Amino acid sequence: MGVVKWLFSLFRTASFLAVLSVSLATTAISMGIWAVSLTAQVTTMTASAAATAIAHRKAIAAAVVRTKAKARLRRALVVLPVAGIAAAAAFERQDYLEWKEDNPEGDLDEYGCELSAVSTEVIDDVLQDLPKAVRPSKGWLLSWVPGCEQQATSEDPAGN
């Protein structure tokens, strides 16, 4: 009877170890396949992100070149006496119409104030682009930019 009990115990232990080994091997194989799958997904997404970044850089570079070319053409046209005045007026009108599309409730005064505010913000960049021999002082240039006082329109229901 002791030998049968010992054989049964040995069979039970061996069966448990066999089931455990098969379970662990199956889990290890499935985790390996999962890791390979995720690695492939990461590689694909990285390549896609890199391609998108390159495309966006090219698009941004093209937009910058186009904007610089427009600015260069505007400067060249403004230099001409009569055509320059007409071109400057046409450019300002076009800029105002584009602003008006984004701000349908705005008027010419609001456009002028916004233009003044933006001009004041970028004046240092503009001055740095000019040669020192012809660069005016910042204070003198700012004196030509009209100042605007934004008036808050608050309606008091009591009429005060």
Q: Is residue 29 part of a domain?
A: yes
22 domain residue, yes or no: yes
pLDDT recorded at residue 158: 45
**Residue 105 tokens, joined:** 């409730």
Q: State the pLDDT at residue 160.
A: 43
The reply to whether 30 falls in a domain is: yes
Query: Is residue 25 situated within a structural domain?
Result: yes
Contact 106, 99 (CB under 8 A): yes
Distance of CA 61 to the CA centre of its chain: 14
Q: Is the pTM of this model over 0.75?
A: no
Using alpha carbons, list the distances in angstroms from residue 76 to 14, 69, 123: 92, 10, 20
Q: Is 80 inside a domain boundary? A: no
- Stretches where the chain sits below pLDDT 50 are 151-160
* Structural domain contains residue 1: no
pLDDT score, position 18: 95
Residue 37 lies in a domain: yes
Range of the domain at 35: 13-42
How confident is the model at residue 50, as a pLDDT? 92
Whether 17 is in a domain gets the answer yes
Count structural domains, the chain. 1
